[in-house]
């Protein structure tokens, strides 16, 4: 190999070497996760995000680490935990639920925030526009106003001559759920009974009042408080023989009658893609809020038999998951 060839090879190597890019590749990205429920490493949404990010080139402990914080169902802990994550100087924040996203937004206007399963990010003030969120927040919306109507429709098809439905919601967690269900109820000629619950010890009394008011079915809004107490809700619905439709298949697996909502995995997969884009330099303000394209209906036939409900064939045929 002559001298000129060596010089050419050295020059090419120097041109190919980008110090900034090398530094970026060696940096460990720090992701903060704020949830109202315990964060599991071995399952659930956290595991999906980890798996998706791994497929995108991130290896935990090598070029990415996670800091998880959970309120364990106590929403008053959100502000302190949000501040804690911001003080850790994380690169991206993940919010599981609208209350968690609001707490993070109140804690920082600089660190990028990706929310998951926010019911209505516009009405809750998380973003200014779905197409161009602006600020430091973007994420995945569950378009709950549309889903609320579908849940009531499924209840009416399932319960003969249904006229009054109890609606379980929490002002602390998501007051929008009560507002969103009003119009669909009117269109379906259903009267609503408000089951507002502010803490776990209020559920039993709320169920008793709903039955006394003549409610013949139940729609669970799926606030953070509800999700943290889904087993209790399912037990009380069974005790009072109230056909219930819930927001997530987890309720059905715990003994709930039905659930209808966006595909469970889709939000986390899309969130992982957003996180990757942000870590590569994209700004949340330029990443549109995404919405579900896949929905799932789950039915527990064992529960149906226990409370004396016969699931109509047209409803049963639309179920993607059936527990017998």
Percent of the chain past pLDDT 90, that is, above it, reads: 66
**Number of separate domains in the chain:** 2
In this structure, are 131 and 51 located in the same domain? Answer: yes
Q: What is the pLDDT of residues 31-55, one digit of tens each?
A: 999 998 766 554 578 899 999 999 9
In this structure, are 272 and 305 located in the same domain? Answer: no
In a domain, 6, yes or no: no
In a domain, 1, yes or no: no
What was the pLDDT predicted at 175? 62
In this structure, are 177 and 208 located in the same domain? Answer: yes
In a domain, 134, yes or no: yes
In this structure, are 306 and 197 located in the same domain? Answer: yes
pLDDT band at 1 (very low <50, low <70, confident <90, very high): low
In a domain, 14, yes or no: no
Q: What is the pLDDT of residues 291-306, one digit of tens each?
A: 988 889 999 999 999 9
In this structure, are 254 and 282 located in the same domain? Answer: no
In this structure, are 210 and 160 located in the same domain? Answer: yes
pLDDT for 119 beyond 80: no
In this structure, are 191 and 311 located in the same domain? Answer: yes
The three-state DSSP-derived secondary structure of the chain is CCHHHHHHHHHHHHHHCCHHHHHHHHCCEEEEEEECCCCCCCCHHHHHHHHHHHHCCCCECCCEEEEEEECCCCHHHHHHHHHHHHHCCCCEEEEECHHHHHHHHHHCCCCCEEEEEECCCCCCCCCCCCCCCCCCEEEEECCHHHHHHHHHHHHHHHCCCCCEEEEEECHHHHCHHHHHCHHHHHHCCCEEEEEECCCHHHHHHHHHHHHHCCCCEEEECCCHHHHHCHHHHHHHHHHCCCCEEECCHHHHHCCCCEEEEECCCHHHHHHHHHHHHHHCCCCHHHCCCECCCCEEEEEEHHHHHHHCCCCCHHHHCCCCEEEC
pLDDT for 21 beyond 50: no
Cβ(101)–Cβ(114) under 8 Å? Answer: no
In a domain, 19, yes or no: no
What was the pLDDT predicted at 5? 54
What was the pLDDT predicted at 43? 58
In this structure, are 111 and 44 located in the same domain? Answer: yes
Question: What's the gap between Cα 207 and its chain centre?
Answer: 25
Which structural domain, as residue segments, surrounds residue 234? 144-262+295-323
In a domain, 275, yes or no: yes
Read off the CATH number of the domain in which 103 is found.
3.40.50.2300
In this structure, are 131 and 206 located in the same domain? Answer: no
Kindly report whether the global pTM for this prediction surpasses the value 0.85: no
In this structure, are 56 and 66 located in the same domain? Answer: yes
In this structure, are 152 and 128 located in the same domain? Answer: no
In this structure, are 220 and 278 located in the same domain? Answer: no
């Amino acid at each position: 190999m002559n001298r000129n060839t060596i010089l050419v090879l050295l020059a090419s190597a120097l041109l190919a070497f980008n110090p900034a890019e090398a530094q970026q590749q060696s940096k460990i990205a720090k992701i903060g996760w704020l949830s109202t429920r315990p964060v599991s490493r071995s399952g659930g949404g956290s595991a999906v995000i980890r798996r998706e990010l791994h497929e995108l080139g991130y290896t935990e402990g090598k070029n990415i680490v996670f800091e998880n914080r959970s309120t364990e169902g106590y929403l008053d802990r959100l502000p302190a935990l949000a501040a804690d994550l911001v003080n850790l100087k994380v690169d991206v924040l993940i919010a599981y639920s609208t209350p968690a996203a609001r707490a993070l937004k109140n804690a920082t206007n600089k660190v990028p925030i990706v929310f998951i399963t926010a019911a209505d990010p516009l009405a809750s003030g998380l973003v200014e526009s779905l197409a161009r969120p602006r600020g430091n927040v973007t994420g995945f919306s569950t378009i709950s106003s549309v889903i609320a109507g579908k849940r009531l429709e499924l209840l009416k098809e399932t319960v003969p001559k249904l006229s009054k439905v109890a609606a379980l919601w929490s002002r602390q967690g998501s007051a929008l759920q009560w507002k969103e269900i009003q119009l669909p109820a009117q269109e379906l000629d259903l009267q609503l009974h408000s089951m507002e619950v502010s803490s776990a010890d209020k559920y039993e009394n709320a169920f008793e009042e709903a039955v006394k008011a003549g409610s013949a079915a139940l729609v669970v809004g799926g606030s953070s408080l509800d999700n943290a107490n889904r087993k209790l809700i399912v037990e009380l619905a069974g005790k009072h023989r109230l056909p219930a439709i819930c927001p997530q298949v987890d309720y059905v697996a715990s003994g709930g009658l039905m659930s209808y909502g966006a595909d469970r995995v889709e939000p986390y997969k899309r969130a992982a893609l957003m996180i990757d884009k942000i870590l590569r330099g994209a700004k949340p303000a330029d990443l549109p809020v995404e919405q579900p394209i896949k929905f799932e209906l789950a039915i527990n036939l064992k529960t149906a038999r226990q409370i004396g409900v016969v699931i109509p064939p047209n409803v049963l045929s639309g179920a993607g998951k059936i527990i017998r």
